[in-house]
Structure formats: C-alpha cells, structure tokens
Amino acid sequence: MVARVAAGSRADAQQAIDAAAAAFPGWSQTPAAERQRIFLKAADLLESRRDEIVGWLARETGCSFGFGMFQMGFVPGLFRQAAGAAYAPIGQIIPSDMPGAFAMAVRRPVGVVGAIAPWNAALILSARSIAAPLVFGNTVVLKPSEESPFSGGLVWGEIFAEAGLPDGVLNIVTHAPGEAAPIGDELVQDPRVRRLNFTGSTATGRRLAEAAGRHLKRVVLELGGQNPLIVLSDADLEYAVDAAAFGAFLHQGQICMSARRIIVERSIADAFIDALTRKTAGLKVGDPKELDTIIGPLINPAALEMVQRRVDAAVASGARVLTGGAATGPCFQPTLVSNVPADSDLDRMETFGPVATVEVVDNEDDAVTRANATSYGLASGIITSDPDRGTALASRIDAGIVHVNDQPVHDEPQMPFGGVKDSGWGRFGGTFAMDEFTEMRWITVQRGRRPFPF
C-alpha cells in the first residue's frame, strides 16, 4: 500500500464547487503580480521536493526514475511560464463605426474550471490541467485519477497552500476506484462550473463531451493517440533506432504521444528492423526504483491483461512478434509486432503499453497514407536527414503535432499541445490556453449622446 486517501463523493464535489465559486470574485481580481509570485514560489517549492516526488511517482504509478525526473524537470518550467502568462491576457481597442463610441475587447477569467486528469504522466498532466486556469484568474476543482491521487492531485494542495494560494482557489476531490463518474457528473452539471478540461481516454472524453454539450459547456479534450513514426529511406539508421525505441518505450508506452505504429520505407527496412529489434530486446525490465530500469510495471493488472489480449489477437490473425510479446511479473516486455492486420485492435486502437507495430511501405506516399489511416490524430514523427522533405511531408500528416527528424514524444510548456480527429480539441500550452480559459468580452463606452431612431 502506498497511502490511504479520502474516497470523495458527489457531495464533496459539490462542496468543492461551492468553495471555488465563493473564491472566484476575489481571485479573479487578484493583481497579476500576485498570481505570478505564487506560481514562481510553487515552482521553487516543487523543485525542493524533487527526490520525494520522484519516489511518489514510482510508487504510485510505476514511473521509472528517468521519466520521473523528466516530469520533475518539466513542471517547474510549466509553472514559471504560467507565472509570465499572468500578464498575457491583453485586450484590444477596436475601431467602432458608432460616432463617439470607444470599443474594447477584453479578456476575463471564466469562473470555476473543472479539471479531470489521468495517472500516466500524473505530475505533468495534473499540473497542466490547473496552471493556465489558475493563472488567468479562474478557480479550479481538480479530480485526479484514482491511480495517482497524490502525485496527480493532493501534491498541488500542499504546494500551492504553502505558496500562498488563497483558500478555495484550488480544490481537489479524490475518490475510490471506479467512482469517478459521480464527481465528473457534478462538474458537468453544476452551472457554476464554466469550463472543463479533460485528459484521458477517447471513450471517457467522448462521454464527457456529450454530457457537457447538453449543458453548453466547453471542454478542452486531450485524448488518446495511435501515433505514427515514419522512418524514411534517407534516415540516419542509428538515430532512427534510438528515436523509435525512446518514442515507443518511454514510460513503458503509457504516454498519449507514444510511437505506436512505426512505418519504415522498404530500402532501409531490413537493417532498421533488425537493429531496433536488438535494441528493444536489451531494454531493462523490472523495478522502477532501480535507476537503470527502462520498462517498469504497467499501471494495473487490467492493463497488463489488455495488452496481452491485443498482442495475442493480432498474432492469431497473422501478426508476428519480433521481440517480447509476454508479461514478466507486473511488467510487459518491450514488444515489436510486424504483419499486423489492418483491421486488428492492435492496429486500430490505442494500446497503452510497451508495444509498437512495425510496417514496411514502398514509398513516402504510402507512408503518409498509412500514417493517416487512423481515427486518431495527436502526435507523429518523421525521421529523415532531409529537413525539406520532412517539412513537406509534415503538412500531409493529420495530427495536431508533427516532429520532423524526431519521434512523437515531446512537449514543452509554451507549445500548442493538442490533437485533431478522435484525439480531441482545444490546446493546452503557453498563451494558446488563453483561448480556452478566458472569455473575450466586448465593451463599449459611448462618450456623448448617440442618435436613436425613436
């Protein structure tokens, strides 16, 4: 057991919304300098607890030391950039055709924001779900995943309280396994919650967006990905292999951006697949507390079973396991599968685990066709030594994020992060999040007497 955590109910969500709504008038009027100060302090406090929190990430979510350190590196930067964004909501003065009228567009915070975060990159994704909403002057109710109530939730209560965030501005509702729905329902249905943001599976996001639609409530949705990594014939072979292994297997493939479909041009395919298979087979599987472990445990036994089921089903319909293909204790071995039928679940559906499919294509047009043959559209990568060729192809990939000569797993706090198609809508990141978590208002001042027709 890692910890005992409160099993919050719908009534607790209601209380959290009460507190957030009561805190909104004060917080929304707080000077930008004060919001900035709190976020800068939160970044420092987080850094001062680095080793402890990396430990929490390992124990709560099976996160390897490397990915824990990556998360701990990312979030202070996210907070420091958020601190700067306190000054970003500037308005406009717009020429009015009404004589004597002075017209402005000004941004205002929206009110209470509901944030629903997942467990997989618990620290980053929960931090992202609260940072922009708070710094733009909204109050927040955060519902972390039941798999990461501390490193994806309660940790922010401790850090922001110490940083001086006033009471009621950030509220966190944890819950028992399987009890997310009542809290989510309350966030969707209470009219005081003006916006939602959700990071998680496409199935849950779709249900949430349907329900939010009935209440005419906007939701930022960051959902799954079935992300392609294209390896072109002119790629540097060693670099391509390192990129593919990192993209597919970081955090044992439990990242929405993970490279799940590796698509390689035929002329380089044999050498690339051979080298990638050897590298994959050599990745250390085991205890995430050991510093050199690359592949830690999957989040829970159900995830392990699901990954095994998908791999077995693909094999039963003709696929071939190049390496891996089975569990080792609570871990799934890093796995490459070729000859995967196009209609199999492994090809079509996001499989949250260390499994990538490998596919050989004749040319770059076929690579683009295959890359786009998915209902998802989050992240993608094109490995090539020719930046012009890569840039030309990038515009043909249906994804919110394309990295040329890199793999898909990459994020920086200031970038417009989000997907197209079933990967969601809206953007986290930098000032792009301003469109999501502020409301544009049109205000006019009539400096005289305008004529009226009657």
Determine whether 222 is an active site residue: yes
Q: Least separation, in Å, of the C-beta of 14 and ligand ADP?
A: 15
Q: Least separation, in Å, of the C-beta of 181 and ligand ADP?
A: 4
Q: Least separation, in Å, of the C-beta of 265 and ligand ADP?
A: 33
DSSP letter (8 states) at residue 128: H
In the complex with ligand ADP, the residue whose CB is nearer, 137 or 200, is: 200
Strand pairing class (355-361; 259-265) = parallel
Q: Least separation, in Å, of the C-beta of 433 and ligand ADP?
A: 19
Determine which one of 60, 147, 186, 222 is catalytic: 222
Q: Least separation, in Å, of the C-beta of 194 and ligand ADP?
A: 17
Q: For every residue of the chain, which 3-state class applies, written as one string?
A: CCCCCCCCCHHHHHHHHHHHHHHHHHHHCCCHHHHHHHHHHHHHHHHHCHHHHHHHHHHHHCCCHHHHHHHHHHHHHHHHHHHHHCCCCCCEEECCCCCCEEEEEEEEECCEEEEECCCCCHHHHHHHHHHHHHHCCCEEEEECCCCCCHHHHHHHHHHHHHHCCCCCCEEECCCCCCCHHHHHHHHHHCCCEEEEEEECCHHHHHHHHHHHHHCCCEEEEECCCCEEEEECCCCCHHHHHHHHHHHHHHHHHCCCCCEEEEEEEHHHHHHHHHHHHHHHHCCCECCCCCCCCCECCCCCHHHHHHHHHHHHHHHHCCCEEEECCCEECCEECCEEEECCCCCCHHHHCCCCCCEEEEEEECCHHHHHHHHCCCCCCCEEEEECCCHHHHHHHHCCCCCCEEEECCCCCCCCCCCCECCCHHHEECCECHHHHHHHHEEEEEEEEECCCCCCCC
Determine whether 331 is an active site residue: no
In the complex with ligand ADP, the residue whose CB is nearer, 146 or 411, is: 146
Give contact residues for ligand ADP (rule: CB under 6 A).
Answer: 116-119, 143, 145-146, 180-181, 184, 200-201, 204, 208
Separation of alpha carbons 315 and 345, rounded Å: 11
Residue with nearest beta carbon to ligand ADP: 184
In the complex with ligand ADP, the residue whose CB is nearer, 70 or 119, is: 119
Separation of alpha carbons 44 and 160, rounded Å: 11
In the complex with ligand ADP, the residue whose CB is nearer, 118 or 381, is: 118
Q: Least separation, in Å, of the C-beta of 153 and ligand ADP?
A: 9
Q: Least separation, in Å, of the C-beta of 116 and ligand ADP?
A: 5
Determine which one of 256, 265, 331, 359 is catalytic: 256
Q: Least separation, in Å, of the C-beta of 258 and ligand ADP?
A: 12
Instruction: Evaluate whether 62 touches 296 at the Cβ level (below 8 Å).
Output: yes
> What is the set of active-site residues?
222, 256
